[in-house]
């Protein structure tokens, strides 16, 4: 009995630790956005990106379970984010890279690639649904029409 309770305590502590690290990462990322990103539209997209990347990592770690339609929606959101960030950086190359600020280390970057690959495996080879979900207006789901003109 004591062995089981020690195991449960250990598991609970590790879960609390993971949550604390994730919250700390998001807090640091939000501080980066507030202090380093001057372009308001990039800051807005950055907040959405942080939430989406956090969800991706939660799925990868098994903290959140997705069915295929939800996975397709998440993949479309990640594609939309990449396209939006590319558009913003093409117009404002002087702005800091928000993705690099979220995925700081090599381990973080490897984790991101593994998480994307895992999401791809969940979706499978038929990505037609993902393509239909990708927005026709780059950045349209993140920014107001006025911000798109910046």
Burial (CB count <10 Å: 0-12, 13-18, 19+), residue 27: exposed
Report, as an integer, the average pLDDT of 84-111.
94
pLDDT digits (tens, 9 = 90+) for 38-64: 999 999 999 999 999 999 999 999 999
**What is the Cα–Cα distance from 117 to 137, expressed in whole angstroms?**
26
**What is the Cα–Cα distance from 96 to 38, expressed in whole angstroms?**
9
Tell which residue, 38, 47, 37, 27, has the closest CA to residue 142: 47
Looking at the structure of the chain, the number of domains it has is 1
Quick check: is 8 in a domain?
no
Residue 15's pLDDT band, with cuts at 50, 70 and 90, is: very low
Quick check: is 49 in a domain?
yes
Query: Residue 98's domain spans which residues?
Result: 25-148
**What is the Cα–Cα distance from 1 to 15, expressed in whole angstroms?**
21
pLDDT digits (tens, 9 = 90+) for 105-123: 999 999 999 999 999 999 9
For position 12, what pLDDT does the model report?
40
Quick check: is 11 in a domain?
no
**pTM score, whole prediction:** 0.79
Quick check: is 86 in a domain?
yes
Quick check: is 50 in a domain?
yes
Who has greater pLDDT, 121 or 5?
A: 121
């Amino acid at each position: 009995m004591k062995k089981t309770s020690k195991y449960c305590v250990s598991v609970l502590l590790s879960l609390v630790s993971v949550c604390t690290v994730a919250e700390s990462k998001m807090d640091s990322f939000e501080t980066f956005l507030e202090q380093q990103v001057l372009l308001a539209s990039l800051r807005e997209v950055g907040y959405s990106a942080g939430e989406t990347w956090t969800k991706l990592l939660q799925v990868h770690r098994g903290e959140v379970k997705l069915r295929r339609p939800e996975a397709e929606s998440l993949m479309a959101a990640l594609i939309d984010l990449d396209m939006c960030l590319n558009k913003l950086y093409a117009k404002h190359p002087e702005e800091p890279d928000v993705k690099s600020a979220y995925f700081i280390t090599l381990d973080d970057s490897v984790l991101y690639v593994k998480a994307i690959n895992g999401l791809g495996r969940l979706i499978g080879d038929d990505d037609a649904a993902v393509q239909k979900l990708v927005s026709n207006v780059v950045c349209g789901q993140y920014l107001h029409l006025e911000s798109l003109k910046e």
